[in-house]
Structure 1
Amino acid sequence: MKKVNLLFFVLLLGLWSCEKPAQEMMLKGKLKREVINVASKIPGRIERIHFQEGETVKKGDTLALIHAPEITAKIEQAEGAVAAAKAQYEMVFKGATKEQIEQVNAAYEAAKEQFVFAEKSYQRIKKMFEEKMVTAQKYDEVYAKYLMAQAQLDGTQAKQKEIESGVRSEKQKMALGSLKRAQGALKEAHIAYNERYLLAPADMRLTSVALKEGELALPGYNIFIGYAQQATYFRFTVPEAEVHQYKIDEVAKFHSPFDSSLQIQGRLVSILALPDYATRKSMNPNYEVDQALYELKFVPVSPGLADSIMTNITFVMPKK
């Protein structure tokens, strides 16, 4: 019995020793896909979820609907601001109304009559003051009323000339600017209203749905996460000592170690250095040289075949 067990152990050791060199001659990699995150631009509660994890969606499909009543209120406020700014703009360019012209003319006539009376009173009191018939206090009071009447007449006369000549160009520009600002606010509110619909940015397979109906969605929070369709690639990692053997645009053939029927050709599109934390470090740098790690990114020559394979499937190819 002991001889049988010993023989079995020797056979396993032989098989392992044969398999290990074969594995060391292979470069291991994974099938990957580009990840797409779909987040909300506006805050609100999830009103409806149209797709669940594992489902495939097309570009433009509505993934979810967000309930945001505050946006409707902002639209109403913006519409009111546009109406007021538009009326102000039209009034500036049309000029004063008939009633406004009549009011200004009446005010001018009243100010003119008051000035004539004040001037006569001043001339009388001036002569009396020169003959020392009134006090200086009385003279000062009449003179002050005369100056006030003159200032009021000048003001109404200037207002009358302004109405007759029309509104200044500066005021017209101000009215136009107010109108454009109100229109911009209304446009912004309508854009935010359309953002209630979360649309798929590309063909993708959903892998995660973070929220449920009734939960609160915050701006920038990823609600849907998925893999992009027709964005498959293969990722292999090689050390610094071997990376120089690979060239951009060369074609390699790799297969699945668990399914011999999965054989795909890929074209090398990029060679990227991995971050420092992925660098191989020796415990004793006096005897071994540290090596940086590099990522080889292959895209399938036949994308249709690769799209049917599950993500993170392992693939191998012979080392150079």
Structure 2
Amino acid sequence: MKRALTILSLILITISCKNPKDNAVIQGKVENEQIAVVSKIPGKIAKLLVKEGNFVKKGDTLAILDIPEVDAKKNQAEGALLSAKAQYTMAVKGATTNQILQLEAKKQGLKEQYEFAQKSIKRLSNMLKDSLVSQQTYDEAFAKYQGAQAQYNAVIAELNDAKKGGRIEQQDMALGQQERAIGALQEVETANKERYVIAPQDMNIETITLSIGELALPGYTLFSGTISNGTYFRFTLPESKLNKIKKRQEITVSIPYLNKDIKGTITSIKQLSAYGSIATAYPDYEMQESLFEIKISPKNSTESKDLITKTTVTLSL
């Protein structure tokens, strides 16, 4: 009889030990979305405008870099653009007002010489018919007439070119130089903006890696922290318990150190590829089972914004 009672007691103890696994309390961690702010161009830290522990908003300036090379290139680009604009304006508009006036005066003088030579050749032509002048005298006068005509036509062409501007090829070349100078200046201005290290979104500054005067290289993390309203809960479950949850399911997470519950929604379920990523301190699973990371986002971000990262949370399944 005693032996039967002993066996029955062992069976009851075994059952009582197994029952908690069916309604196990799963441990997890409070996590927060991480963010890193890096430098895009090399430069020394000139100013740090925030401290570790500060909360900053998107667009706030976190630091200012000293980049002497950009200042020098900006002056060069501005000078090149000024010169290119002048070249293009000259190609399009042609000569200046004073140059036009000088050519107009030259044209008027050559016109008078041409008209005088034209009258002279007409008189000599009549006199040659009456044998009043020799052929040589007429030929000399005719040569002067042709010279005056050529000079007059040349100054007319020169004046027209001056008024119209340079050839279309010259204008295109000058325009290309101007556009290239504009592009170079825009490139320098873009680099100049990068001296200001800007917060990409609302975040809490946790770590500042460099001090004033230290060199920041491209891609180097200057600030790291957590995203505002980026708190979530992470649990590790074996595949045998996946039948108790589903994506977008509402669920209650307990915060032991605050003795409070927070309602959340399961936002992702993904397989873990490394045991080092397990969030549960003492997971109850068989070694052959696959493990899954469960991410739960709080329904009310206000309730979770002050939770301490990496503290323990629990989930009853």
TM-score by length of structure 2 reads 0.67
For residues 1-320 of structure 1, the aligned pairs below 5 Å read 21=20, 25-96=24-95, 163=161, 167-259=166-258, 261-275=259-273, 290-319=288-317
- Whether the aligned pair in 2 keeps the contact of 1:279 and 1:291 (CA below 8 Å) is no
Aligned mates of 1:237, 1:27 — CA distance in 2? 8
- Whether the aligned pair in 2 keeps the contact of 1:264 and 1:300 (CA below 8 Å) is yes
Deviations 1:227-258 (A, max 9, x none): 11111111112223333432221101011244
Aligned mates of 2:224, 2:19 — CA distance in 1? 39
- Whether the aligned pair in 1 keeps the contact of 2:206 and 2:224 (CA below 8 Å) is yes
SS for the counterpart of 1:229 is strand
- Whether the aligned pair in 2 keeps the contact of 1:279 and 1:292 (CA below 8 Å) is no
Of all paired residues, the percent bearing the same amino acid is: 41
Q: Which runs of 5+ in 1 are unaligned?
A: 1-13, 106-155, 281-287
Deviation (angstroms), 1:76 = 0.2
- Whether the aligned pair in 2 keeps the contact of 1:36 and 1:225 (CA below 8 Å) is yes
SS for the counterpart of 1:173 is helix
- Whether the aligned pair in 2 keeps the contact of 1:206 and 1:225 (CA below 8 Å) is yes
Change (3 A) 1:277 1:236: closer
AA paired with 2:200? P
AA paired with 1:273? Q
Aligned mates of 1:23, 1:255 — CA distance in 2? 18
- Whether the aligned pair in 1 keeps the contact of 2:255 and 2:262 (CA below 8 Å) is no
AA paired with 2:195? R
Aligned mates of 1:38, 1:279 — CA distance in 2? 25
AA paired with 1:271? I
Partner of 1:140: none
Change (3 A) 1:278 1:211: closer
Aligned mates of 2:67, 2:277 — CA distance in 1? 48
Deviation (angstroms), 1:55 = 2.1
Aligned mates of 2:203, 2:307 — CA distance in 1? 14
Instruction: Give every structure 1 segment of 4 or more consecutive aligned residues whose post-TM-superposition deviation is greater than 4 Å.
Output: 17-24, 96-102, 159-166, 276-280
Deviations 1:107-130 (A, max 9, x none): xxxxxxxxxxxxxxxxxxxxxxxx
SS for the counterpart of 1:72 is helix
Deviation (angstroms), 1:23 = 10
Aligned mates of 1:78, 1:220 — CA distance in 2? 26
- Whether the aligned pair in 1 keeps the contact of 2:91 and 2:171 (CA below 8 Å) is yes
Instruction: Judge which range, 191-200 or 221-230, deviates more.
Output: 191-200
Aligned mates of 1:300, 1:191 — CA distance in 2? 40
SS for the counterpart of 1:224 is strand
Instruction: Judge which range, 82-91 or 310-319, deviates more.
Output: 310-319
- Whether the aligned pair in 2 keeps the contact of 1:278 and 1:292 (CA below 8 Å) is no
User: Aligned residue pairs: how many?
Assistant: 245
- Whether the aligned pair in 2 keeps the contact of 1:279 and 1:290 (CA below 8 Å) is no
Deviation (angstroms), 1:20 = 11
Change (3 A) 1:27 1:73: same
Deviation (angstroms), 1:171 = 2.8
Deviation (angstroms), 1:289 = 7.5
Change (3 A) 1:19 1:76: farther
Instruction: Judge which range, 69-78 or 21-30, deviates more.
Output: 21-30
Aligned mates of 1:44, 1:292 — CA distance in 2? 48
